[in-house]
Amino acid sequence: MHKYLLAGVSVIAITLGTLASASAADLKFAKGSGAFSWDALQAFADAHKDLAGQKLTVWGPWREGGDQEQFLTVLAYFEDATGVDVEYGSSENYEQQAQIDAAAGSSANITLLPQPGLLADMASKGYLVPLGDDMKARVEGEFAAGSSFVSLGTYKDKAGAPTFYAVPYKSDLKSLVWYSPDNFADAGYTVPETFEDLMTLTDKIVADGKTPWCIGLGSGGATGWPATDWIEDLMLRTQSPEDYDAWVSNDLKFSDPKVVAALELFGSIAKDDKKVAGGAAAVGTTDFRESPLGLFTVPPACYMHHQASFIPSFFPEGTVLGEDADFFYFPAYAGKELGKPVLGAGVEATITKDSPAAHAFIDFLMNPISNEVWMAQSGFLSAMKAANVDTYGNDTLKGEGKILLNATTFRFDGSDLMPGAVGAGSFWTGMVDFVGGKSAQDVADAIQKSWDAIK
């Protein structure tokens, strides 16, 4: 199979040579091998026999390295099952290019983006193709926290009517706490099952004369963003999903007592010298890539670190996940009856140029094989109930995947959904001001003022 990755130009703006259809020899995993859902793939192929020879263009965020190559291995199974020739493209500014193509009427058939806010804007301009109530019902029934994923893919059309446009593909997980199993064992600590237990453990570590948390907000021009993940996770654990959504849209003001309480809860850890490595003064200046290193010092500078599933990339060289470092779910309150909420991010798949092959591809993304092929490699998490967790490439991915499957609520990173001036502006800087000494109310008022200024 031959694939071309376009850089810096529209998929449609260039004429490509004909791409050869995938053959069995091109497939990453031989049919019939392993724990993959081969029967589901065959059923999909039987249902789409009439597509051979059609072409499909796909535009997405994966343009280099492992993600690109792994997505191409997924496309091979679609080509093999349908006989459709697929052209995949991306660019450094893939989000902007997707908008340019849509405005010019030259979109790819399929557009995959990790920005629901951008997709909502495209839907309001009539650039997306509705997927229909049947697909909406499938997402609700076939994904853990399915109603959450339906909400994530529902945007207002040109007439202002809520319409289902996007299915989830490839999730990222943020509601994690990283720790050293050896350090926990040596100190006699156990993984907390509830948020109440987590706070009890935090206090016990302090009482033992040790430091429970490492927190670092430093990230160059993006300094402050790690704290926004904390606030988002805490909002999901102290307020309803509806309140979270209202906060993200600013129907619930940033200065509301519910939001201020989440800031203060974060501050009860981050602003307490006894609870954070280096003391509160170090939180705002420690680089987020360096902050987890305290888990691995002797003696440990801290025992826990709240961060997303990508953070092992910055662990010391040679760290063995599952042995030297592991994670647990950032737990929910037992007493608040809010289920098991999960904060994350991910990619949404939409049709931006209608065709039978485009609808078949959306159907393919709802087939477990489209998830399992990538799950078996690296960097892919799935909330699809039918995707076999035994296909995950390692125990770390499997454990993270199970957290997604057990989620009762999934919510997208709130700061990524807010207007850029807030989510990637005043919210970031406000968190730095907060750990630097400003009160939660003053910071919340300032962020709300910045939001009001752009309305």
3-state helix, strand, coil in the chain (%, to 5): 45, 15, 40
Residue 10 domain-assigned (yes or no): no
In 211-355, alpha helices (H): 225-238, 241-249, 257-270, 280-283
Q: How many CB atoms lie within 10 A of CB 363?
A: 18
Task: Say how many domains are in the chain.
Answer: 2
Residue 1 domain-assigned (yes or no): no
Query: Is 196 exposed, middle or buried (CB count within 10 Å of its CB: 0-12, 13-18, 19+)?
Result: middle
Whether 349 and 337 map to the same domain: the answer is no
Whether 206 and 253 map to the same domain: the answer is yes
Backbone angles phi, psi at 62, to 5 degrees: -95, 110
Residue 293 domain-assigned (yes or no): yes
Whether 169 and 193 map to the same domain: the answer is no
Q: Whole-angstrom Cα distance, residue 100 to residue 227?
A: 33
In 376-426, alpha helices (H): 395-406, 414-417, 420-421
Alpha carbon separation from 97 to 7, 121, 208, 278 (Å, rounded): 10, 14, 55, 43
Whether 161 and 148 map to the same domain: the answer is yes
Query: Which tokens hold the place of 233?
Result: 């996770």
Residue 422 domain-assigned (yes or no): yes
Whether 158 and 181 map to the same domain: the answer is no
Q: Which long-range contacts (CB under 8 A, 24 or more apart) does 425-428 make?
A: 425/450, 426/450, 426/451, 427/224, 427/228, 428/222, 428/223, 428/224, 428/225, 428/228
pTM for the model stands at 0.91
Whether 268 and 321 map to the same domain: the answer is yes
Whether 395 and 252 map to the same domain: the answer is no
CB 266 within 8 A of CB 362: no
Residue 2 domain-assigned (yes or no): no
CB 119 within 8 A of CB 128: yes
Q: Whole-angstrom Cα distance, residue 57 to residue 6?
A: 11
- Terminal Cα distance for the chain, rounded: 50
Residue 6 domain-assigned (yes or no): no
CB 321 within 8 A of CB 87: no
Residue type, 109: N
Whether 127 and 73 map to the same domain: the answer is yes
Provide the pLDDT for residue 220.
95
Q: Could you read off the pLDDT of 384-415 as tens digits, one per residue?
A: 999 999 999 999 999 999 999 999 999 999 99
Selection from 356, 218, 383 nearest residue 287 by Cα: 218
What would you report as the CA-atom Rg of the chain, rounded to the nearest whole angstrom? 23
Instruction: Indicate the SS3 state at residue 61.
Output: coil
Provide the pLDDT for residue 7.
42
Contacts of 373 (CB under 8 A, 6+ apart): 28, 29, 36, 73, 74, 77
Whether 106 and 225 map to the same domain: the answer is no
Q: Could you read off the pLDDT of 208-265 as tens digits, one per residue?
A: 999 999 999 999 999 999 999 999 999 999 999 999 999 999 999 999 999 999 999 9
Whether 205 and 337 map to the same domain: the answer is yes
Whether 250 and 356 map to the same domain: the answer is no
Residue 387 domain-assigned (yes or no): yes
Q: Phi-psi category of 333—alpha, beta or left, where left has phi over 0 and alpha has psi -120 to 50?
A: beta
Contacts of 122 (CB under 8 A, 6+ apart): 98, 99, 102, 128, 350, 352
Instruction: Indicate the SS3 state at residue 451.
Output: helix
- Supply the range of the domain harboring residue 328: 176-341+417-452
Which residue numbers in the chain have pLDDT < 70? 1-25
Provide the pLDDT for residue 4.
42
Whether 330 and 197 map to the same domain: the answer is yes
User: Which residues is 154 bridged to in the sheet?
Assistant: 164
**CATH number assigned to the domain comprising residue 369:** 3.40.190.10
Q: What is the dihedral of CA 296, 300, 303, 305, to 10 degrees?
A: -50
Residue 240 domain-assigned (yes or no): yes
